[in-house]
Amino acid sequence: MSYLNHTRTSFLLTGLPGLQAVHIWLSIPFCVMYVASLAGNSLILWVVRSEPALHQPMYFFLSMLAVTDLGLSASTLPTMFTIYLLGLREVAVDMCLAQLFFIHTFSIMESSVLLTMAFDRVVAISNPLRYGTILTNPRIASLGLAIVARSVGLHIPAPIMLKKLPYCQNRLLSHSYCLHPDVMKLACTDTHINSAYGLFVVLSTLGVDSVLIVLSYGLILKTVLSIASKAERLKALNTCVSHILSVLLFYTPMIGLSMIHRFGKRASPCSRVLLSYLHFLTPPVLNPIVYTIKTKQIRLRMFRVFWSCRAGIGDARGR
């Protein structure tokens, strides 16, 4: 088996299989998704920053989610555009390793933020009188730093370990961006250590986070069922709807993609690519929409911005 020097080789990315002839047209909805993600998450950050009434733990955590979604969109953007707009599938190894580092780092950060938001809902519903004293600004800042340190620290070894591997003549990756398991499969050497480390990272982050989120909602449900008033129960649960939808948007495609990679050997390559798009592209687009629709304070603030802009345009025309 022939090897390629890892310092001189490159990898080939995959678009939607069988649709290469219409890649330029497919770039239009992808561009719309990226613009919507950047605009929606930036607007969330601006609204929370500019509205003093939103300077509360729940909205600080929402800002963390928006920053993470912006990072995730920016991480997948370069290779998606080169494939669908320019028709270029080749990516240098160093760029590929940098991309997989940022994609996996922001993915773990998103999971961590969702877990922190679940903790926020537990405190708000189970212990509302001490909500402000438990989730103080210094504590929220410490949680944010812990999320960044955990996500970055766990993923620094991955590209370093992959950089040292020799790669075969087969350079074709299965996705439109570089992912750790995908790159690892192209190595022409034993990768048990890399595989074990990747499994450890997944289980200690996504696995632990998902279990803790489920346990958090078990506590929330127990507290809500103890409330005598049906109206109060519904009101308490309604504050969790946005978070539940964000959790489902993030974890459902990820679980499906993981199952296909491990058990769906006969699954079509197109299904893998589509599931990866659902996992990495849709949460940054839909999270701002979900929180805008379901969060009254953000919705009202955005309406005020919209109407003030319209009034300003009307005044300008009147002059």
Band of the pLDDT at 304, cuts 50, 70, 90?
A: confident
Phi, psi values for residue 3, rounded to 5°: -115, 160
**Distance between CA 129 and CA 11 in Å, rounded?**
55
Q: Quick one: pLDDT at residue 2?
A: 45
Task: Give the list of residues 6+ apart from residue 276 with CB closer than 8 angstroms, or none.
Answer: 175, 176, 179, 253, 257
Residue 293 is predicted with a pLDDT of 83
Q: How many whole angstroms separate alpha carbon 50 and alpha carbon 59?
A: 12
pLDDT of residue 264: 59
CA distance 312 to 314: 5
Please state the domain extents for the chain: 3-313
Q: If you average pLDDT over every residue of the chain, what do you get? A: 85
pLDDT tens for residues 120-138? Answer: 999 999 888 888 889 999 9
Chain centre distance of CA 194 = 23
Q: Read off the tokens for 222.
A: 């127990």
Measured CA to CA, the distance from residue 61 to residue 54 in angstroms comes to 11
Q: So what's the pLDDT on residue 216?
A: 94
Residue in 154, 159, 155 with CA at minimum distance from that of residue 94: 159
Report the alpha-carbon angle 74-59-78, nearest 5.
5
pLDDT tens digits for 68-88? Answer: 999 999 999 888 888 888 888
Q: How confident is the model at residue 265 (pLDDT cuts 50, 70, 90)?
A: low
Q: What are the Cα distances from residue 212, in Å, to 63, 102, 168, 239, 277?
A: 21, 24, 40, 19, 26
pLDDT at position 316 = 52
Taking the chain, what is the end-to-end CA distance rounded to the nearest angstrom? 76
User: In 3-state terms, what secondary structure has residue 14?
Assistant: coil
CB 14 within 8 Å of CB 175: yes
pTM: 0.89
What is the C-alpha to C-alpha distance for residues 71 and 54, in angstroms, rounded to an integer?
23
| pLDDT tens figures, 223-261 | 888 876 888 888 888 888 889 999 999 998 888 777 776
| CATH number, span 3-313 | 1.20.1070.10
> 167-168 and 3-4 as β-strands: parallel, antiparallel, unpaired?
antiparallel
Query: For the purposes of burial, counting CB atoms within 10 Å of the CB of 172, is it exposed (0-12), middle (13-18) or buried (19 or more)?
Result: exposed
d(CA 291, CA 277): 21
Give pLDDT, residue 122: 93
- Confidence band of 145 (pLDDT split at 50, 70, 90): very high
Checking if the pLDDT of 36 tops 70, the result is: yes
